[in-house]
Amino acid sequence: MNDMMADTAFIFARYGEETNMDRKTVYDYSLQCHYLWKDLVNGTTEYLEDLTMSHTSLAQGYLLRDKPDKAVEHCQESIRIRAEFRNDGSICELAHILQAWGMCGLGNYDQAALLCEAVIQYRAERFGPEDRSSIKYAQLPPSLTASQVVKETDSHFYHQTRPSSTMSRCHTRKAGAPRRSI
């Protein structure tokens, strides 16, 4: 039953964020999802993938609450946990992307660019060098997607480009792009 509650909290957080629900409410759903998955794991490996997902959901909640340092921590934990149970060469793209957003919020543009490059490189290897159809690519910070780091001196950079202000653009699949699993 707790797994269904965790899934429901995740869905509320994900779609709440996409439909501009109150940021605190989205964060609260993300936190609820995270604690439910954390309790379900309880020393087993059965729900580890769900726990990694809950860390990225919570990271997104922290980004919406303007706490990029906490978002980065949860992304790093998601990446660490995933590396423990997946040896297939895949990466946690969303954790890298959200961590890049957090790094932008902290002013660490070089690190953000490296995280974006890792996602772009991984997708190029997996889907070809011209891959642009995934919504995950659209979620990369705009100034970093072309491997050109824009070091903004304006403190409004993060607030103008963070996920909460660009969600409808970021979560829309480009017209005519073939559907691909993400």
Domain contains 62: yes
**What's the confidence (pLDDT) of residue 140?**
64
Mean pLDDT, range 156-176, rounded to an integer: 34
* φ, ψ for residue 61, nearest 5 deg: -60, -40
Domain, as residue range, for 122: 2-170
Domain contains 130: yes
**What's the confidence (pLDDT) of residue 68?**
96
What is d(CA 24, CA 112) in angstroms, rounded to the nearest whole number? Answer: 25
Give the best-scoring range by mean pLDDT among 35-44, 65-74, 138-147, 168-177. 65-74
**What's the confidence (pLDDT) of residue 134?**
63
pLDDT at 172 exceeding the cut of 70: no
Residue 155 is classified by DSSP as T
Mean pLDDT, range 70-99, rounded to an integer: 88
Terminal C-alpha separation, the chain: 27
Domain contains 112: yes
Domain contains 33: yes
Mapping DSSP to helix (H, G, I), strand (E, B) and coil, where does residue 67 land?
coil
Supply the mean pLDDT for the chain: 75
**What's the confidence (pLDDT) of residue 162?**
40
CATH number at residue 55: 1.25.40.10
Per the structure, the count of domains in the chain is 1
Mean pLDDT, range 104-131, rounded to an integer: 86
The percentage of residues in the chain with a pLDDT greater than 90, rounded to a whole number, is: 31
**What's the confidence (pLDDT) of residue 144?**
55
pLDDT at 66 exceeding the cut of 90: yes
Question: Which of 90, 85, 17, 5 lies closest to 57, judged by CA?
Answer: 17
pLDDT band at 41 (very low <50, low <70, confident <90, very high): confident
Domain contains 175: no
pLDDT at 95 exceeding the cut of 60: yes
Domain contains 180: no
pLDDT band at 20 (very low <50, low <70, confident <90, very high): confident
Report whether 50 contacts 6 (CB < 8 A): yes
Overall pTM > 0.75: no
Q: How many helices (H) and strands (E) does the chain have?
A: 9, 0
**What's the confidence (pLDDT) of residue 61?**
92
Contacts 24+ apart (CB under 8 A), 23-26: 23/64, 23/65, 23/164, 24/65, 26/60, 26/61, 26/64
